């Protein structure tokens, strides 16, 4: 049960709107128990958010049903053409059921414009939650990277324009990291109206305990989707060119995650051996991570990177790109090393220090979703009390 460090609300004042369920499944119940949650609008299977009372949730699952049916029958064939239609169905259903609250938190996915306009037209507050960097900043980075390495830009996001459109309707933005906030500031958003709140975890991190001795193989792990934005092409090139100079000469690299087939093929063409595993169950991941000496997250852009928190919970050090939002967390509490994925010397020093010295100490900190929900309510309560309307 959530510790109620903030007063129970007599009148619910907050809506959450998400196409899917995202991380809200971890803390929406906390908001309802504190009396803040008026309604959660989502699109997922009927058993999702089962503990939240019916009067506090509205599920429009048709989009998810169509998407899963599509992937089951024809996999990703024509998905880029039909996905916008699936999102349009969700947006239409949402607009017909949506009743605005004083504060409305939308996941920025480019498919909530109608509901946002309803909220704004009634003088209510619209907060957009941005997961990744501003689409313009992201696409510029990816296009430059694709040209430099002669790769196709498999990460091209046709929904980016809609995300930009919806972001302009927001009174405030919520981001998981300072890097995401900075990307929106560069595109003209007011930094005073952007809040940073790193994601939570369902347990406390007490220490990162793994200390290496300079013998045997160094077992290096990557977990996540495998495509251009994750920067694996740069890190594998770095390992290929610098392995002989490192304190431990034999590095066993394992990639876990769903790949873009063309990108995975391009990684194999770099002539550096690695293992690829398509999937490890979420409930087995932390235990699986304990088999490795360190986790890498070499992203050239990443809104946060929950795998970093999981690796800390597993007790292994992390090597994190400074362009991943989780680098904020490493800076704050320790447990690993931060590097620049565009600088081989920086990558070398981070890995060398990890091999020779193990992880830096970790501050004992509560990263639970219960704590996250309390911090979120503090932010949104302040917004509610101090809001000064601006033109969209």
Q: Please tell me the predicted confidence (pLDDT) of residue 61.
A: 95
Cα angle for residues 231, 237, 238 (degrees, 5° grid): 90
Q: In this model, does residue 7 exceed pLDDT 90?
A: no
User: Is residue 1 very low, low, confident or very high in pLDDT (cuts 50, 70, 90)?
Assistant: very low
pLDDT, position 157 = 58
pLDDT of residue 224: 96
**What contacts 248, CB < 8 A, 6 or more positions away?**
212, 214, 215, 216, 217, 218, 355
pLDDT value at 75 more than 90: no
Please answer whether residues 293 and 311 qualify as being in contact, where contact means their C-beta atoms are separated by less than 8 angstroms: no
Greatest mean pLDDT range, 143-147, 200-204, 378-382: 378-382
Question: What pLDDT is attached to residue 6?
Answer: 60
Residue pLDDT, tens place only, 269-317? 999 999 999 999 988 999 999 999 999 999 999 988 989 989 988 889 9
Query: Residue 207 — pLDDT band, cuts 50, 70, 90?
Result: low
Highest mean pLDDT among 105-114, 136-145, 327-336: 105-114
Residue 2 has pLDDT above 60, yes or no: no
Asked which of 3-7, 105-109, 251-255 is least confident by mean pLDDT, the reply is 3-7
> How many secondary structure helices (H) and strands (E) does the chain include?
14, 13
pLDDT above 50 (res 370): yes
Least confident piece of the model among 156-170, 197-211, 301-315: 197-211
Burial class of residue 381, CB neighbours in 10 A (0-12, 13-18, 19+): middle
DSSP state of 371: H
Flag whether pLDDT at 210 surpasses 80.
Answer: no
- pLDDT-derived band at 392 (thresholds 50, 70, 90) equals very low
User: What sections of the chain are H helices per DSSP?
Assistant: 28-33, 62-74, 79-97, 113-121, 135-148, 160-167, 178-186, 232-242, 261-268, 282-289, 306-314, 326-333, 344-357, 369-386
| Stretch among 100-109, 181-190, 203-212, 351-360 having the lowest mean pLDDT | 203-212
User: Is 14-200+369-386 CATH 3.30.300.30?
Assistant: no
Total residue length of the chain: 392
Q: Stretch 198-221: mean pLDDT, rounded?
A: 71
* Exposed / middle / buried, residue 350 (Cβ in 10 Å: 0-12, 13-18, 19+): buried
Instruction: Name the 3-class secondary structure at 126.
Output: strand
Q: Does the structure show a pLDDT above 60 at 200?
A: yes
What average pLDDT does this structure show over 74-79? 89
Q: 204 pLDDT exceeds 70?
A: no
Mean pLDDT on 154-167? 79
Higher pLDDT, 149 or 120: 120
CATH 3.40.50.2000 segments of the chain: 14-200+369-386, 218-357
Give the integer Cα–Cα distance in Å for 329 and 335.
9
d(CA 306, CA 379): 22
Is the CB of residue 172 less than 8 Å from the CB of residue 193? yes
The residues, ordered by sequence, that sit 6+ positions from 208 with a Cβ below 8 Å of its Cβ are 312, 315, 316, 317, 318, 334, 335, 336, 359, 362
User: What per-residue confidence (pLDDT) applies to 3?
Assistant: 46
Better-predicted residue by pLDDT, 347 or 206: 347
% of the chain with per-residue pLDDT over 70: 91
Instruction: Give the residue, 122 or 201, on which the prediction is more confident.
Output: 122
Supply φ then ψ for residue 195, to 5 degrees: -110, 145
Query: For residues 324 and 304, is the Cβ–Cβ distance under 8 A?
Result: yes
CATH number of 218-357: 3.40.50.2000
Confidence of residue 211 (pLDDT cuts 50, 70, 90): low
Alpha carbons 297 and 220: distance in angstroms, whole number: 11
Q: Look at the block and give the residue holding tokens 């696409």.
A: 139
Residue 33: the pLDDT is: 94
pLDDT category of residue 9 using cuts at 50, 70 and 90:
low
C-alpha closest to that of 2 among 327, 374, 275, 272: 374
* Phi, psi for residue 201 in degrees, rounded to 5: -145, 155
* Higher pLDDT pick, 157 / 101: 101
Interacting residues of 241 by C-beta distance below 8 A, sequence separation 6+: 344
The angle formed by the CA atoms of residues 246, 251 and 257, to the nearest 5 degrees, is 130
Lowest mean pLDDT among 4-18, 176-190, 219-233, 252-266: 4-18
- Does residue 55 have a pLDDT over 80? yes
């Amino acid at each position: 049960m959530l510790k109620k460090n903030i007063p129970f609300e007599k009148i619910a004042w907050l809506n959450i709107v998400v196409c899917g369920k995202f991380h809200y499944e971890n803390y929406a119940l906390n908001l309802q128990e504190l009396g803040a949650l008026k309604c959660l609008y989502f699109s997922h299977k009927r058993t999702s958010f089962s503990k939240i009372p019916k009067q506090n949730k509205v599920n429009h699952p048709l989009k998810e049903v169509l998407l899963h049916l599509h992937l089951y029958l024809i996999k990703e064939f024509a998905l880029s053409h039909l996905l916008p239609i699936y999102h349009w169905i969700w947006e239409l259903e949402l607009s017909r059921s949506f009743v605005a609250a004083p504060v409305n938190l939308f996941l920025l996915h480019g498919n909530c414009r109608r509901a946002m306009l309803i909220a704004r037209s009634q003088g209510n507050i619209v907060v957009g939650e941005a997961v990744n960097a501003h689409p313009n900043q992201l696409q510029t980075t990816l296009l430059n990277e694709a040209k430099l390495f002669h790769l196709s830009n498999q990460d091209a996001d046709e929904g980016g324009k809609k995300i930009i459109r919806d972001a302009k309707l927001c009174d405030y933005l919520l981001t998981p990291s300072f890097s995401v906030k900075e990307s929106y500031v560069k595109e003209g958003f007011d930094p005073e109206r952007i809040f940073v709140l790193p994601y939570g975890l369902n347990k406390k991190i007490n220490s990162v305990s793994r200390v290496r001795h300079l013998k045997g193989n160094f077992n290096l792990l990557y977990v996540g989707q495998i495509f251009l934005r994750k920067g694996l092409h740069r890190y594998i090139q770095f390992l290929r060119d610098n392995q002989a100079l490192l304190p431990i000469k034999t590095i066993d690299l394992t990639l876990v995650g769903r790949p873009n087939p063309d990108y995975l093929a391009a990684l194999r063409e770099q002539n550096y051996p690695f293992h690829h595993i398509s999937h490890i169950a979420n409930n087995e991941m932390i235990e699986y991570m304990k088999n490795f000496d360190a986790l890498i997250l070499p992203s050239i852009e990443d809104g946060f990177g929950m795998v970093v928190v999981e690796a800390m919970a597993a007790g292994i050090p992390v090597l994190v790109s400074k362009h991943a939002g989780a680098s904020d967390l490493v800076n704050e509490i320790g447990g690993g090393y931060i590097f620049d994925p565009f600088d081989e010397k920086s990558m070398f020093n981070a890995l060398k220090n990890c091999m020779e010295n193990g992880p830096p100490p970790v501050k004992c900190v509560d990263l639970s979703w219960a704590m996250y929900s309390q911090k979120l309510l503090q932010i949104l309560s302040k917004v509610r009390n101090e809001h000064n309307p601006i033109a969209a």
